Structure 1
Amino acid sequence: MNYQTQASGNTPALIIYLLDISGSMTLEFEGQRRMDVINEALQTVIRQIVYRSTKGAKLSPRYRISILAYSDEVYDLLDGVRSIDRIANRGNLPQLYPKRFTDTAKAFKQAEKILHSELSNMNDCPAPLICHMTDGIYTGEDPEPIVKRIMDLSVPDGNVLVENIFVTEDAGIGRVKDARSWKGIMPNTFVTNSYSDKLKRMSSVIPESYREMMIESDYSIREGSLMMLPGTSRDLISLGFQMSAATPMK
């Protein structure tokens, strides 16, 4: 369980994006609505995945992706898990639009259902990853027990990975001046924001194979850091989405 299995057309990686579309996503963030910043970051990471899956003129189905937007309900934007070549062929992704509340537990339950339906066919594939983006505390049921169950699921390559991007002006860790020189959040990093602390507990340690990919992209994430991003700037949000697609690749 060392997260070294390489994504290929025969052994594709599975990424599930969980995206908070509650009403607060209409708030301004660096001159744009938070929702628009997330739309752009998602479009960018899909282009990155297409690039990483292309050899010559051929786009290989090295990634399978699900995109679940959630508020008080969960919306399956791709109508199921779709391979990256099919996503590329359909053109632009559906746009995200803000709704009402933040039922994070319901979103993770839907992701858990997807994993239970997929894992039996993934013994030779990279460990799946859930990339969760939110801008505020959940409403309703506590999602942490559900996330802990998910993190206990595994394939031979390793346990399911959970990453969290917390879009906020203050994540409780102080100001990050430069995303590329930022060292990351460690399990013992003290945070003053109580929801940041909860998201820490809901985040996997970044596998060394993923971290090496980020180092090659001129980031400075320390060994043992969590897959927890304080989305206090556009650059940190972008780093979070890039990290989700840093799967080892053939």
Structure 2
Amino acid sequence: MNSTDNSKQWSSAHPGYIIFLVDQSGSMSEKYAEGKTKAEFTASVINRTISELVNTNMDGDKIKDRVFISLIGYGGNGGNSVDDLRSDYLSSFGDNPIKIEKGKQKQPDGNGGFIEVNVEIPIFLEPKSPRNGRTPMGDAFSFAKQLIDGWITKKPENPAPIIINISDGMPYNGIPNEEKVKSIRVAKEIMEIITNDGNPLLFNVHLGNGSPKHEFTNNDSQLDEQAAFLFNVSSLVPNSFKTSAQQYDFVLDDNSRGFVSNADPITMTKFIQFGSMSGNDLKTN
């Protein structure tokens, strides 16, 4: 592997950067899974993912800052709002969650079955989906691009940043097609940024509504409108990420794009874990 194929692993000296773009539009209040709305389920998956990152980057009682995380919501304050909900190093997330909730988790009982145990769940992202919230995805991409430009200016030797965008619909700012066109344009600008580790990666997951699921497709010739849009705003999956994808049972080929359309809850969870864990090689410092 050369130095421009997204193969650099996170380290304390050269942390990675993950940007979660979270659709908080009104439609995210629809029921999705486990008795939760789309907004609630998305928040729970992101909270669990950050907790896993914290746990896997512990050194004794200290959290190693191998990654910087930005949580960006769009539509969550109504209209076309885009909000930096939190941007911080991993240790700050681990040491300062918004709150701790009590819950239950199934764990192996040692005899081939499972038991429910009481657990404490750190909360880093709370669900929002106001009725008047739109889907200003293009504006969210623009904000992410600004964050990436600032990051790579200060940290040119670090791994290429990763954006994971979670949405349940097409971009919309109140004017037909305007936000879609902007989303495609800015996504291409992001994917063309040059770093010493390759281009930033833009991965997209669209929450399902019963339509056929498309994942990691290599062309858009047979895709519906939603999937074709996602194809056009998603990065090619680099070879350095394909082993990780296989661990989550995703099937990829040489030209697969990093997106899933109409994701069911299991696929959505695995996709977010795939996108956020692939740079987390614990052999680094």
Normalising by structure 1, what TM-score?
Answer: 0.89
| Deviation at residue 218 of structure 1 after TM alignment | 4.7
Kindly provide the amino acid, as one letter, of the partner of residue 12 in structure 2: G
Partner SS state of residue 82, structure 1: strand
Code of the aligned partner of 1:167 = L
Percent identity for Structure 1 against Structure 2: 21
Equivalence for 2:81: 73
Could you say which residue in structure 1 is the equivalent of 2:113? none
Q: CA-to-partner distance for each residue in 1:115-173, whole Å, 9 max, x for gaps?
A: 11111122221110111011011113221101111111121111010000001224544
Query: Do 1:16 and 1:67's aligned partners in 2 also have CA atoms closer than 8 Å?
Result: yes
Query: For residues 191 and 29 of structure 1, do their structure 2 counterparts lie closer, same or farther at Cα, with a shift above 3 Å needed?
Result: farther
Deviations 1:4-39 (A, max 9, x none): 111001100001111000000011113421111101
**What is aligned with 2:249?**
219
Which residue of 120, 124, 139 corresponds with 1:93?
124
Which residue of the other structure, out of 49, 59, 62, is the alignment partner of 2:53?
Answer: 49
1:203 aligns with 2:214: no
User: 1:225-244, aligned counterparts within 5 Å?
Assistant: 225-244=256-275
Which residue of the partner structure matches residue 216 of structure 2? 185
Paired with 1:206 and 1:231, the residues of 2 have a C-alpha distance of 19
CA distance in structure 1 between the aligned counterparts of 2:279 and 2:207, rounded to whole angstroms: 23
In structure 1, what is the Cα distance between the partners aligned to 2:147 and 2:84? 11
Q: Is the 1:167–1:231 Cα contact (8 Å) retained in structure 2? A: yes
Alignment pair present for 1:149 and 2:149: no
From 82, 86, 95, the counterpart of 2:88:
82
Aligned-partner Cα distance in 2 for 1:44–1:230: 22
Q: Which residue in the other structure is 1:133 paired with?
A: 166
Q: Which moved more, 1:18-27 or 1:184-193?
A: 184-193
Q: Which runs of 5+ in 1 are unaligned?
A: 175-183
In structure 2, distance between residues paired with 1:171 and 1:130: 25
Provide the C-alpha distance between the structure 2 equivalents of 1:146 and 1:203, rounded to a whole number of angstroms: 11
Report which stretch shifted further, 60-69 or 84-93: 84-93
The SS at the match of 1:88 is helix
CA distance in 2, matches of 1:82, 1:187: 34
The answer as to 2:9 corresponding to 1:2 is no
How many residue pairs get aligned? The number is 238
8 Å CA contact retained: 2:47, 2:125:
no
Provide the secondary structure at the position in 1 that maps to 2:190.
helix
| Residue in structure 1 matched with residue 67 of structure 2 by the alignment | 63
1:111 aligned counterpart, secondary structure: helix
Give the TM-score normalised by structure 2: 0.78
Is this contact kept in 2: 1:9–1:61, CA < 8 A?
yes
C-alpha RMSD over aligned residues: 1.8
Matches within 5 A, 1:103-142: 103-140=136-173, 141=179, 142=181
Ranges in structure 2 where 5+ consecutive residues have no aligned partner = 98-122, 174-178
Asked whether the equivalents of residues 208 and 223 of structure 1 are also in contact (C-alpha less than 8 Å), the reply is: no
Distance 1:55 1:209 in 2: 26
Instruction: Look up the match of 2:279.
Output: 247
Query: SS where residue 130 of structure 1 aligns?
Result: strand
Q: Distance in 2 between matches of 1:85 and 1:149?
A: 31
User: Within the alignment, does 1:33 sit opposite 2:37 as a pair?
Assistant: yes
1:161 aligns with 2:201: yes
Distance 1:221 1:54, change over 3 A: farther
